[in-house]
Structures are given as structure tokens and as C-alpha cells.
Chains A and B, each alone.
Chain A
Amino acid sequence: MGAELAFRPGAWVGLVARVEQTAGATGALVCEVDGRQLGSVLLERGRVCWAVTRSTRRRLSDLLLERSSDLTRVQLEAVYRLCRARSIPLGEELVRRGFVSPRQLREALVEHTSEALVHMAEADRATYRWVPHRTPTYSPKYTFDNLELTLRIGRMIHQERSDAAEARLAALGFPGVAFRVAEDEGVVLPVAVRDRDRIPAAHLPCEGPDLRALRQWLESHAGRESLRFAVWHDGEGRRVALVRTEMLLLVLWLDGASALGLLLARLANLPAVGDAE
């Protein structure tokens, strides 16, 4: 799938920044290209809950039917009509009636939304217009933060790279995020995460380019030496490591007195080969 997409990471990062600018608001970012509406992104208290474009391949209903053996098209259409009449979210009503599980709904929502967001990030000259909504409608558990969506999209675009990144993070064993860094394409996108709940940084989807610039700057002041890793320590036991492999940049959170020793030992055992695609 990835090779067919003209996904532009810069456009996605721009959209993420636009979402962050809404500062926790509820409403819609209407995506327009040359004055024509391409799609929209719904935000619930600053978190994305839904996105759709005119070219989205599969509808949410199809995704739910694929996932749930307890749901038939007839049942789905009946609930859909009811939801439409009462202006309530279809997915949550299906969960309430036991036709789909919360997990199935969440998976279907994030898949549909990610696909739509990829389409928006493919569009040239896309702009976003904010339309506030008065009241939140969707449950917070069916909303998604920027890192979750970025990782999902990263996996859609670069699945093999995501697998390699997950393997690297697992081998190192610390909470962290892996960015795909391809110098020639200018791509800096988070593609894998480990122990998400232990990662404090909320703005990482936008920080990949800055981290790459930091790495390049470290190399420039070291006389163009190639950086293997860098570790910052706050003097209170908290450390952040930047680890470079051939096509990945890993940001790791190290806690505890023995963490640095563990990192060094694990790095020494990390295969010295490039990140196999």
C-alpha cells in the first residue's frame, strides 16, 4: 500500500500542528483544496474522533461488519436510521446494544480516520478551516491523540519499517519512540512506540524534524563524526537518550540509577547491521 501513496509527512505534521493549535477545543477542521472541500476532521476536546474525505475507500459500517460476527447489515441499517433521527453517534449505540465491542469500534474508528487523514496529507495545497461546535458528542475513549494517529499512519505507510523499529525498541527495553529518518526523502515520522503510558512527551509527532536537526548539529560540532547515541541526564536520575541506527532515530526515556548501564549493555548487543526493511 505504501508505495502507491504520495503521502507527504510535512503535510501531516502541519495538520498535527493545526490540531494542537485548537488547544483542547471541540469542532471540525474542514480540509479544502483550492476552495473545494476535500474532507473534515472532527475534534472532541482537542482529540481527533473522526475524519472523512470524499475519497475514503471504506465506510465505517463496512469496517464494523468486517470485525463483528454479531452484527448484520440489516441490524446496522436499523441502528443507523435511529441514530440519524436522534443525532447520536452510530458506533457508540452499536456498542451499547452489544453488536460490537468497544475495542472493535475503536479499531474501526482509528482505521477509518487514519485512512482519511492520509488522503488529506496526500493533497497538495490543502488548507484547514476551523468550525467550532457547541457541545462534545463523542465519548473520550473513542478519541485519539496525535501520537497514536501518527503511529498508525506511519505503520500504514511504512509497515516493514515499523516492524523493524518495534524490534529495536523491544531489544533496548526502554519506553521510547522510533522515528523513521530518511535523509533523501526528508521523512521524519514516528513509526513505533514502546510503553506509551510511560512516555511523558505529548508533542512528539511534530518533534521528529527537530530531533533530526539536533542529531545533525551534534555531528557537525563533532567534526562530522557519525553519532551513535547521546544521553542527557538531569542530575536527578532522569535520562533521555537519542539513539541512531541506520534509518531510525530512537528517543528513549531512562529512569533509575542503573538505566544507563543497561542501555550501554543492550546497545552493545544490538546488531550492528542497518535496519532491515
Chain B
Amino acid sequence: MRHTARELSGCLAMGYVDVVEQRWVALHEEESVPSTEHLRQAAGDLFRGNRVAPINGVFEQAPGAQGPAPRELLMVFDSLVHVLQRSPDDPDRVLVAVFRSSANLGVALIKTRAALEALTASEA
């Protein structure tokens, strides 16, 4: 994770959250990011709680949808970008990455997906 975070231009922090236990399984911060702790707490609500009920409702109603539970969430704020990706093998684990808003979003998504794959492979 440290390697991936350092390799990624604009990546400020990357962590792996257990959303049931609300704890970091791993966390690496290139710079102190004030929102990291909030993100840890939010990850559970974003993937398991009822905060995103309207969005889940949209997914549920989409043709061919299997149900709610989005796998990936990209949030772009004025000065930060958050990427959250749920592990395909363990839906209770979420990879969280924080970038500067100047980061290339496409690269950020691809690299965090790759980091998640590497993490889940190392856990297997």
C-alpha cells in the first residue's frame, strides 16, 4: 500500500477499512489528511448503511440490476478526491484513497483498483 501510494501522483493517503469493526486494517498517509478519520467512519455508512438509500434505490430500479450495494465510489471535492472501493472477495473491506484534486482521476481509479486486487491477493 505504501508503495502504491507513493507511486501514485497526488495520492495523500491510502487505507484499508474493516467497515464492520470500523477499524483500519492498514493505513498509509503521505501527508496528514484531516478527513481520513471521517472517511474511516463514513466508509461503513457509504457501503452498508442507509445514507445512500436514494442512490441504492436508483441501482435497484435499473434494468437488470441485481440489487443495491455499489462497488466503487468516486467523490470529487474542491481540493480533494476520495476513492472508495469495496473488496469483491470480502464486502466488509473497503479500500480508501485520498488524492489532491489535481490528480488524474482515471489513473487514480485504475491504480486503486490494482491496489485492491493486490491487497485481496495478499490476504488470500
Across the interface, which residues of B come within 8 angstroms of A221, CB to CB? Answer: 35, 38-39, 41-42
Q: Say yes or no: A231-B57 contact (C-beta < 8 A), given A200-B62, A214-B51, A221-B42.
A: no
Is there a chain A Cβ closer than 8 Å to B22's Cβ? no
Which A residue's beta carbon lies closest to that of B40?
Answer: A221
A236 to B55, CA, bound (A): 15
| Chain B 63-104 per-residue mask, 1 if CB under 8 angstroms from chain A, else 0 | 101100111111111111010000010000000000000000
Does any Cβ of B come within 8 Å of A138's Cβ? no
Residues of A within 8 A of B51 (CB): 214, 217
Contact of B54 among A214, A228, A235 (CB under 8 A): A214
Which chain A residues lie closer than 8 Å to B66 at the CB level? 234, 236
The number of residues on chain A lying at the interface, defined by a beta carbon within 8 Å of a beta carbon of chain B, is: 35
Contacts of A260 in B (CB 8 A): 74, 106, 109
Stretch of A119-127, A140-148, A157-165, A202-210 on the interface side: A202-210
In angstroms, Cα B10 to Cα A94, docked, is 66
Q: Which residues of B contact A231 (CB under 8 A)?
A: 73-74
Interface size on B, residues (CB 8 A): 36
Which chain B residue has the least Cβ–Cβ distance from A238? B62
B65 contacts across to A, CB distance below 8 A? 234, 238
**B105 contacts A by Cβ under 8 Å:** yes
A222 at the interface (CB under 8 A from B): yes
Task: Find out whether the CB atom of B38 lies under 8 angstroms from the CB atom of A232.
Answer: no
B77, A234: Cβ atoms closer than 8 Å? no
Judge whether A218 and B62 touch: CB under 8 Å: no
By the criterion CB–CB under 8 Å, are A235 and B58 in contact? no
The complex places the Cα of A232 from the Cα of B59 at a distance, in Å, of 9
What chain A residues lie within 8 Å of B52 (beta carbons)?
214, 232
A225 and B79 in contact, given A231-B74, A233-B73, A253-B58 (Cβ under 8 angstroms): yes
Interface string of B23-60 (1 = CB under 8 A from A): 00000000000110011011000000001111101110
Q: Which 4 pairs between the two chains have the least Cβ-Cβ distance?
A: A225-B77, A235-B71, A221-B42, A233-B72
User: Which residues of A line the B interface, CB within 8 A?
Assistant: 200-203, 207, 210-211, 214, 217-223, 225-236, 238, 240, 242, 251, 253, 260-261, 264
Question: Could you list 11 examples of A-B contacts with CB < 8 Å?
Answer: A200-B58, A223-B35, A225-B77, A229-B76, A230-B75, A231-B74, A233-B70, A235-B88, A240-B58, A240-B70, A260-B109
With A221-B38, A221-B41, A264-B106 given, name 17 new contacts (CB 8 A): A200-B58, A200-B61, A201-B58, A221-B35, A222-B35, A223-B34, A225-B77, A230-B74, A231-B73, A232-B52, A232-B73, A233-B70, A233-B73, A236-B66, A242-B55, A261-B106, A264-B105
